[in-house]
Amino acid sequence: MSDIWGYPYRLGIAIFVTVGIFGIMGIFLGFTIWLENSFKKDKLKK
């Protein structure tokens, strides 16, 4: 079996795809939650 870390970087790409998807999800979900909380604290809202 060929070296899974070597070219064509199969494991590296798989890890990159996973971390990338969940990383981007984390950024967007974080922003979503922050936005919801900041609307709750909105001074204009009674």
Residue 36 interacts with other proteins (CB under 8 A): yes or no = yes
Q: What is the 3-state secondary structure (H, E, C) of 13-42?
A: HHHHHHHHHHHHHHHHHHHHHHHHHHHHCC
N residues, the chain? 46
Residue 5 interacts with other proteins (CB under 8 A): yes or no = no
Residues 16-35 that bind other proteins (CB under 8 A): 16-18, 20-25, 28-29, 32-33, 35
Q: Rounded to an integer, what is the distance from CA 5 to the centroid of its chain?
A: 23
Please give the residue ranges that form the binding site for other proteins (CB under 8 A). 2, 7-14, 16-18, 20-25, 28-29, 32-33, 35-36, 39, 44-46
